[in-house]
Amino acid sequence: MAHHHLSAAVAIGIVATLAGCAPTTTPAASGDPATAAAATSGFDEGRSGRYHSARFELSLVLPGGKEWTVDDHRGPELVATHAPTSSRLTLRVFELNELVNRQRCELEARARSLVPAKLSLLDESDEGGPPDFDTHVVVGLAPPPASADKPPITGHVLAFAARVRRCLVFDFSATVPAGAEATLGDRLAVGTTRILPTVQLDSSAPVRSPRR
């Protein structure tokens, strides 16, 4: 996945998906589109902060800092919501009794229904994940509600990351009104370039080997 083209490519992909056709061109990037996307996405990067989860033994940067509401206790996953941009981050970590890779973690996450079952694929890559993880990243569009005349558009950034026996499942989503495809592209770019790569395991977190 070429992160510097993501917001433009996703915006084109959204339009093409909604129109039922394939995109034919991707506009060239100018300057630093990742920074530009963050500036136009509605996240206040000047207030960014690193959130630490003692339960999952990791931390990550949340653009906008205290604008996020984080629930890291009531359910089996960490859920963070950013009301100003209608964005939501769900993060889950679990371990298996075997060495894992990104494919194994994705199969297990889908079997457990931890991510949306159906997305219209916009982009995917095996790059750009958290440091020291083997990661597969998927960017896609959720099916629109059938009843709405001009339904809102929801996009997801999914990441399935593996390290030794540990799986990390990342689901960042954003919802925008119909016609705001470029804004959705910018917000999804924040998920892939400003949040996902910042996930770090605690230095004290054990790297567990498979049981013998």
Residue 155 has pLDDT above 70, yes or no: yes
Report d(CA 102, CA 209) in Å as an integer.
Answer: 17
- Looking at residue 11, its pLDDT comes to 58
- Structural domains in the chain plus CATH codes: 3-201 (3.40.1000.10)
Instruction: Give the pLDDT band of residue 22 (cuts 50, 70, 90).
Output: very low
Q: Which residues contact residue 203 at a Cβ distance below 8 angstroms, ignoring those fewer than 6 apart?
A: none
pLDDT tens, position by position, 60-92? 999 999 999 999 999 999 999 999 999 999 999
**Segments in the chain forming alpha helices (H):** 6-19, 33-40, 102-111, 181-190
- Return the pLDDT at 45: 80
Average pLDDT on 136-161 reads 91
The number of angstroms, rounded, from the C-alpha of 177 to the middle of its chain's C-alpha atoms is: 19
Q: Are 21 and 13 in contact (CB under 8 A)?
A: no
Residue that wins the pLDDT comparison between 5 and 45: 45
Tens of pLDDT, residues 157-186 = 999 999 999 999 999 999 999 999 999 999
